[in-house]
Amino acid sequence: MNAVDAGLHIKLAAINRLVLGVSEQVVQVGAQVKYVEAQQNQARGELQQLRQEFLAFVDQARLVAALQRAETRVGVLQDQLDHEFGHHKVVRRTAVGMLQAFDLGLVSEDVVRTVGDELMLQTPRYWLAPALVALTAWSADDPSLCERAVQEAFRRSPDRTSLFFALVLRRQARPAESARWLRHYLLAQDPRALGREFAVILESVAQGAFGPVGRTMLRDALDDWQELLGADTGAQDVQIERWGAELRALCPPVTGAEFPFLHALSPQWPQLGGVLSAARGQQAILDKYTAVMNTEPALSQRLEDAVDDILDRLVSEYDNEELPLRRDLAYQQAVIAHDGDAARARTATDADSSSYDESLDYLTVQSSAALNPAAIGTSQATRRLAVAACRDWFHHAHQGFCRDYRAAVPQDVEIRFGAAYPLAAGRQFHLPPWQGSFLSPLAELQQGLAGHWDRHTAPFIAGLGYKYAQPVALAVIAVLVAVLIGSAGGPAGAVMGALLVGGIAGLIIRSLAGECRRAQEAAQRLLADARAESLRRLVAARAELSAWNQAYQDADAVEVPVRELIASLATATEGNSPFTGRTVTPAGGDPA
């Protein structure tokens, strides 16, 4: 019996050593699992950061690609314009040069006639070529040829031809004949569908190019048109909307990088970003139109120079066939101006798309001269007068602009938390959504968020604990079986079998329970860190909301000087009229 007991003791000791070895290995595995878990969390954080950097890189690459495409497209469009309409440039350059040659008497009539004949042959269907032939015939005292050339130019473009000869005759100090051409032009115009050359009329007003008689005629006609179209509320609304689009296009973007916590956690962020962008637009509006109104253009002192500048604008105005290419070119240039942001470029060009229409109503001409003078070929002097003339539309658009973004300020800014948090062994903790309002005190929000975490993490962590019931029941059954088997060797065998099986089962249960306890502790630490991070983000979001409120108030305060600027436009022209122009005095003569 003693020999049996000694053998059982030896075997039990061997089994104990094996169990202890297994237990140590389990501990080592647990340590390795913790290390892998830490590495996994670090890798997950790095992957998240890499994802954010990748998305930022993708956005930047998209902008750069759009910018490069736009630059390439601009070159293609300019080449196409030069190829299809470049021959018109020769005629345009020749027109004013020919008039100056007449002044100086340095070029013979034969040379001038030869140049006019060549341009007539090289540019068929272009209205300016026969007009130049008429000038050469006029200088050569050939009334028959001059009349036929004038008729051909008039057939090709009645409006431009009328304005051209009105300006030429004014330049040659023939005010009566110039006024007849001007009257002929004005009587043929429909203020609801003016040709693009009409911008030259506004330029002539700003430069005082037609003298007292022409200025009076223009004032009467334009006042009548203003009264006629002013009664059309629909036409007025179109201009107000166009000015509103101009104001909206000036708003600088507000990115989530400026307020990262509000951007990530508040469902009201789109409204917050849009409202702040609009409010900051006030400064952009003030800067732009203060510069426009404070820029004092250098007006020509000689009648000939003033008219030559206007003639340059008239003959350089785009032909209708060029407009689709010019519209595309304007869009591509806007993409470049906005650093590849196609959406903002489209918004800016759509707001000014009417400037590239074949015909414009008088009100649209005024707005185009104020908003995009380059599109219709007017100068900064005309722009200042046009902005002053559009002050009512500017005022109403600004009022609506301010009303809209102020009405869009969220009355309640909320914050939301709720995400999945990965744990060891493929487990995840899902925090149910929690939402709070910043109308509540910060301490109350912190208490509510902390309680939300506690209510859901406590049962989750408790659920990770070791479930003793089933393993203990199985261990009891195993001990009973061991007792039955060992009883064949007598009571001592039954006791030794029970001790052996019970000891092994206890060690296994203890090891598994320890592993579960370590998993609980690891999850508790991780979730405690996540809870603290959530509370920190809550405080940071509240601080960002305070910063947003201050930024909004500072930006919105600029509305007052903008309003004062618009009110001051009433005194920007004499008699509050956009049609008052100065009188140009010819060298050595009386005011004309």
pLDDT of amino acid 379: 79
Tokens of 504: 């092994």
Structure tokens at 236: 């007025």
pLDDT of residue 483: 62
Question: H-type helices in 141-210, by residue range?
Answer: 143-156, 158-171, 175-187, 199-207
Which pLDDT belongs to residue 579? 31
SS3 content of the chain, % helix, strand, coil (to 5): 80, 5, 20
Beta partners for residue 195, in sequence order: 359
Q: How many residues does the chain have?
A: 592
**Quick one: pLDDT at residue 66?**
79
- DSSP letter for each residue of 263-328: HHH-TTHHHHHHHHHHHHHHHHHHHHHHHHHH------SSHHHHHHHHHHHHHHSPPGGGHHHHHH
Q: What is the dihedral of CA 280, 283, 287, 289, to 10 degrees?
A: 90
d(CA 390, CA 514): 81
State residue 585's pLDDT score.
39
**Given this model, what pLDDT does residue 440 score?**
92
Distance CA 28, CA 22 (A): 10
CA distances from 129 to 93, 324, 369 (A): 12, 23, 28
Q: Which residues contact 213 (CB under 8 A, 6 or more apart)?
A: 175, 179
3-state secondary structure of 420: strand
Q: Does the predicted TM-score (pTM) go above 0.85?
A: no
pLDDT of residue 39: 63
Say which residue the tokens 């996994």 belong to. 40
CB 125 within 8 A of CB 156: yes
Strand 434-437 with 414-417, pairing? antiparallel
pLDDT in tens, the chain (592 residues): 455 455 555 655 565 566 556 555 655 665 566 556 556 656 665 676 677 677 777 777 777 887 888 788 877 777 766 666 655 666 666 777 777 776 666 677 777 777 777 777 777 777 888 888 888 888 778 888 888 988 988 888 888 888 888 888 887 878 888 888 888 888 888 888 887 778 778 777 777 777 778 888 888 888 888 888 878 888 889 899 999 999 999 999 998 889 999 999 999 999 999 999 999 999 999 999 999 888 776 655 565 666 767 777 676 555 666 667 777 777 777 778 777 777 777 776 665 555 555 578 888 888 888 888 877 777 787 888 889 889 999 999 999 999 999 999 999 999 999 887 877 666 778 888 899 999 999 999 999 999 998 888 888 877 777 666 666 666 667 666 666 665 666 666 666 766 666 677 677 767 776 777 777 777 778 888 888 989 999 999 999 999 999 999 999 999 999 999 999 988 765 433 333 333 333 334 443 4
CA end-to-end distance (rounded Å), the chain: 143
- 548 CB contacts (<8 Å, ≥6 apart)? 259, 262, 272, 276
- Pairing relationship of beta strands 434-437 and 194-195 according to DSSP bridges: unpaired
Q: Which two tokens stand for residue 133?
A: 């032939």
Residue 430 in 3-state DSSP?
strand
Nearest alpha carbon to residue 376 among 243, 207, 199: 199
Q: What is the DSSP string of 336-349?
A: HHTTT-HHHHHHHH
Q: Are 565 and 391 in contact (CB under 8 A)?
A: no
- Beta-carbon neighbour count of residue 324 at 10 Å? 10
pLDDT for residue 577: 34
* Gap between the Cα atoms of 243 and 363, Å rounded: 12
User: What pLDDT is recorded for position 6?
Assistant: 57
Q: What is the pLDDT of residue 582?
A: 33
Report pLDDT for 576.
35
pLDDT of res. 161: 86
Say whether 142 sits in a helix, a strand or coil. coil
